[in-house]
Amino acid sequence: MYASEPVPSVESRLRAVPPHALVATAEQVLAERFGARKTTLLLADYGLRVLQPVTHLPHTGEPVPAHDGPAGSAFITQNPVVEVTRDPATHVVHLPITVRGDRLGVLSVRLPAPAADPKTVLRLRDFATALGHEVVTAGRDTDLYLLARRTRRLTLAAEMQWQLLPGRGCAREEYVIGAHLEPAYAIGGDNFDWSTGADDLTLTVTDGMGQGVDASLLTSLAVGALRNARRAGVGLADQARLADQAVYAQYGGKVYASTLLLHFDLATGEVRAVDAGSPKLYLLRGGTIEQVGLEPQMPLGMFEETPYDEQTFRLEHGDRLVAVSAGVHDTRSELGDLFGEHALRQVLSATRNTPPHETARAVVSAVLEHHGNKDLLTDAAVVCLDWTGRTTPSAPLGGGTAG
């Protein structure tokens, strides 16, 4: 007798289809295995205001709020939500889709009511995670999932800037990062970047001078130079120095990029920092909020061959770091009033116990409200990091043990 062919795994079925066919394949798989009646993939838009359905024509589907209703609740809490519908025969399970701490959206699955039990919901959550990884991979080869995130057209500068970003979040045992940018559809010079290793994390926040494409080009050069230096294995001060030289060589000091560079030791909590004309950095510890007192140094590209020095401070379990660009604290209302330090501290205090993603979004929302709920005239970036620190030894590279 011939052995029967093995049933292909969910992951292998998703990997085998063309990039544009992920949603249709997911719907087919869920129908076969769970009796699902309908499956909808909703992706968060660039402004984090709505969840947009992915279809062959992305703008034909009706978006749902990203912070209200069952789907919005799943997105915010990062927990599955079972919606009891008007049809007593079915429930809709809303599952957060998150890839290594980067919140992408929600998978909504309509199931027969008896099938929406806790064990099935847990299996569906694993499926949503697998689908999220495939969506990220498929984004290299199709515009479908990028288009589905848009409520309107991005400016050219914003297109360049969003493609430069690593994501809007990152999570490990030692930390969780959440970040946000505005004006989401017209961002120009603000950027955040990170890279994690076995025992460290490097995080930068950059504010390129100017507006529009000029600012985006400047920031792209600065971020590219910082990445190139980091990947060459040089220290933080030398990363700043090499990026400074690259920007100065291109622009001759006419424009520059204010940058904050941070390097975290995951085992000890020690942070090495370079304040190159940087965004402001706040430390929330217990019930206190303090601005981290870093020595200000010259922005990248302002002068030729600028030397940079590192400073150090240490994080403790439960600490929160928040970096904000000038577009946050310098935003003015229609009457000319600055958003300012007091308002920022109020938002940071009020959101102390919310996840980093929501704190970053809340700060930007407060700035937008202060400005009059219209697109900001200058870029605003917020990066929030919650620090847990290392509680177990790091795994060896490659994993596994010798037999």
pLDDT digits (tens, 9 = 90+) for 118-140: 999 999 999 999 999 999 999 99
In one-letter notation, the amino acid at residue 29 is: V
Is-contact 192 205, C-beta < 8 A?
A: yes
pLDDT band at 399 (very low <50, low <70, confident <90, very high): very low
Alpha carbons 323 and 384: distance in angstroms, whole number? 7
Residue 163 CA to its chain's centroid (Å): 12
pLDDT at 40: 95
Average pLDDT, stretch 194-217?
95
Q: Does the pLDDT of residue 296 top 60, yes or no?
A: yes
Average pLDDT, stretch 269-284?
94
Average pLDDT, stretch 192-198?
96
8 compared with 270, residue with greater pLDDT: 270
pLDDT band at 173 (very low <50, low <70, confident <90, very high): very high
pLDDT band at 395 (very low <50, low <70, confident <90, very high): low
Residue 335's CB: how many other CB atoms inside 10 A?
6
Show Cβ contacts of residue 247 under 8 Å, excluding neighbours closer than 6 positions.
218, 221, 222, 225, 255, 256, 257, 300, 301
Is-contact 231 297, C-beta < 8 A?
A: no
On average, the pLDDT of the chain sits at 91
Q: Does the pLDDT of residue 155 top 70, yes or no?
A: yes
Place of tokens 């955040």: 192
Show Cβ contacts of residue 5 under 8 Å, excluding neighbours closer than 6 positions.
none
pLDDT at 58: 52
Alpha carbons 236 and 274: distance in angstroms, whole number? 7
Alpha carbons 58 and 14: distance in angstroms, whole number? 20
Average pLDDT, stretch 181-196?
94
Q: Does the pLDDT of residue 402 top 70, yes or no?
A: no
Please state the length of the chain. 403
Q: Which tens digit of pLDDT belongs to each residue from 28-41?
A: 999 999 999 999 99
Residue 61 CA to its chain's centroid (Å): 24
Alpha carbons 237 and 218: distance in angstroms, whole number? 20
- Edge-first strand order for the sheet with 280-285 is 169-171, 175-182, 380-387, 320-324, 280-285, 288-291
pLDDT at 196: 95
Q: Say what the pTM is.
A: 0.90
Q: What are phi and psi of 319, to 5 degrees?
A: -70, 155
Q: What are phi and psi of 26, to 5 degrees?
A: -60, -40
Q: Among positive and negative, which fits the CA dihedral 217, 280, 343, 389?
A: positive
Strands 38-44 and 200-208: what pairing? unpaired
Alpha carbons 402 and 97: distance in angstroms, whole number? 35
68 compared with 327, residue with greater pLDDT: 68
Q: What are phi and psi of 206, to 5 degrees?
A: -125, 140
Q: Which tens digit of pLDDT belongs to each residue from 357-389?
A: 999 999 999 988 888 767 777 888 999 999 999
pLDDT at 278: 76
ω into 183 cis (within 30 of 0): yes
Above pLDDT 70, what percent of the chain?
94
